[in-house]
Structures are given as C-alpha cells and as structure tokens.
Amino acid sequence: MASAIAVVGMSFGAIAVASGLDWWMPSALSVLVFAGGSQFMVVGVLAAGGGVVAAVAGALVLNARHLPFGLAVGDIMGRGLLARMVGSHLLIDESVAFAMAQKDDPKRARAVFWFLGTLAFTVWNLGTVVGVAAGQVIGDTDAFGLDAAFPAALLALVLPSLKKARPRNAALLGAVVALAATPFLPAGVPVLLALVGLAVLLPTPKKKEEVAA
C-alpha cells in the first residue's frame, strides 16, 4: 500500500505543477489537507479554468465524506482527546478501509489504523515532493497515464466492501446518479449526490435515520 500511495502522491505532485501550481503548493496541500481526492479536485478545477473559490468549495464538499468516515471508525482510533485530535488528521480512505476490514478485533484495528495513517502521511508527502520535482521535468502528465493511477488505487481499496450485496447495490445506484449529474453540477457535488444510493438500505419505510447522517 505504501508504494502505491507514494506512486499516487508522485502523480499528484507532478500533475499539480504541470497544471501551474507553484512548487510549494502541492506539499502544503499534502501536509495540511492530506486528502488525495480533494487535492486532485483542487488541481483539476484550477486546470479546467475554475476559480480558487470554486476549487476550494468543491474540495470541501468532497471532504465532507470524512464525517461519516470518522463516525464509522471513531472508536478505533482511541477515545482520548489527543488520540482523536491527531488521529482525525490521519483519517483517510486507506486507513479507514484497512482498519474497518479488521474491526472484529478492536486492538488490531487500532494498530492498523495508526500504523497505516502515519505511514500513508509520510509516503504521501515524500511522493508529493518527488512528483513536484519530476513534474517540472515531464510536462504532459496525461501522456504517462498518471490520471488513471488515483481512481485505480481507490478501486483496489473499495473492492472488498463491495462483496456484500447491500453496499454494492447502494454504491452502484450512487455511482449512476453521480455520473448522470456530472455534466450539470459543479465538480464535487455529484459525488455527494451519490448518497441517494443509500435508499437501497431501506427495505421498510419506517426508519428516518439517514437524515442524521
């Protein structure tokens, strides 16, 4: 996983400087924001001619998904204030996915979460620095297929949770909705709209809990 995150971090650094960001900006994003999807979104919106406000707003909307992530793994990272304050910054797709895969064994899940979160933070930032250096040399990052690396990495991570029918159906419905909405809505919004896929979880109309999520 570490080498994959490093590769995706490198592609982020390279794509970011190739799209015109200053050399220090990709690293500032990787240290302070540390959320690959939103970092790619910022760069993508700016490269497509969107403004800074649109780029940041889209990225924030996309990162709203960390709220349900945090709710889902909250106890795994630890219950102390310090554990939560530091652990929250390490709450990423990868640490969540791997920790949730171990959740039947809480002790092991906690070790997995902290180990992977710290490791991912380190290699993501190292990868970003290398990518920035490479990007200043490469120029056309699409020619190297770097834009395919990020979704492929996420796909590998999410596959295990698609083995069960209910999450799979919800995800498929959500993806169709997001794709259909993409031409009409600002980048980032269609991904949140995909949450209507959660309707699959409602076999009977008596529960109203999805409003709270």
Q: Which of residues 114-133 bind another protein (CB under 8 A)?
A: none
Among 15, 35, 109, 134, binds another protein (CB under 8 A): 35
Among 14, 17, 59, 112, binds another protein (CB under 8 A): 59
Chain residues 127-186 in contact with another protein, contact rule CB under 8 A: 142-159, 161-162, 166-167, 170-172, 174-175, 177-179, 182-183
Among 12, 69, 114, 132, binds another protein (CB under 8 A): 69
Nearest to 13 by CA among 116, 157, 94, 123: 123
Residues 141, 14: contact at Cβ < 8 Å? yes
Chain residues 80-99 in contact with another protein, contact rule CB under 8 A: 84-85, 87-89, 91, 93, 96
Give yes or no for residue 7 binding another protein (CB under 8 A). yes
Chain residues 194-213 in contact with another protein, contact rule CB under 8 A: 194-195, 197-198, 201, 207, 209-210, 212-213
Nearest to 40 by CA among 24, 22, 58: 58
Among 13, 17, 40, 114, binds another protein (CB under 8 A): 40
Region class of 77: left (phi > 0), else alpha (psi between -120 and 50), else beta: alpha
Query: CB of residue 83 vs another protein: minimum separation in angstroms?
Result: 9
- In eight-state DSSP terms, residue 202 is -
Which amino acid is residue 17, in one-letter code?
A: V
CA distance linking residue 74 with residue 6, whole number of Å: 26
CA distance linking residue 9 with residue 80, whole number of Å: 30
Which amino acid is residue 163, in one-letter code?
A: K
